Amino acid sequence: MWTKGLLLAAAALTGMMLTGMMLTGGANAQQPWPQVGTKVTVNGCVSRSPDNLCWIVRDTKTQQVYTVSSATPPFGPLVQKYLVHLTGTVASDITFCWSGPILKDVSWYMYIKGYGYCPPKK
């Protein structure tokens, strides 16, 4: 009796894990993250993450969100109004930010004439 209960519980847990993997795999298939070590170039709008802990940038072309907290020079509040061009390398670092792939060695500049390209925060 004890063995049947364990077998049934293991089967149910395996089924839930497989279902979760299929659902997650489907989401990743829509927008796969770049491989670690890939150099990326992004034109996008910089903002704070939903939890307000990290700087993120959303690529205007692909809509991919990247975590860019290690940018040089560091971002300030003024940069949220302007479109930026940045380059960085996808890292395998672990962080408390869950916004997107983490970029390291980030360098960037603002398009000064780009005022209005990034929507104001509500």
pLDDT number for residue 53: 86
Does the structure show a pLDDT above 70 at 29?
no
Mean pLDDT across the chain, nearest whole number? 76
Q: Which amino acid is at 45?
A: C
pLDDT band at 17 (very low <50, low <70, confident <90, very high): very low
pLDDT number for residue 113: 65
Angle formed at CA 103 by CA 98 and CA 104, multiple of 5 degrees: 130
Mean pLDDT of 64-68: 92
CB 109 within 8 A of CB 96: no
Question: Helices marked H in the chain — which ranges?
Answer: 2-30
Tokens of 93: 């670092």
Reported as a single tens digit per residue, the pLDDT across 102-112 is 999 999 988 76
Give me the CATH code for the 39-114 domain, please.
2.40.50
Q: Which amino acid is at 11?
A: A
Q: Determine if the peptide bond prior to 73 is cis (ω within 30°).
A: yes
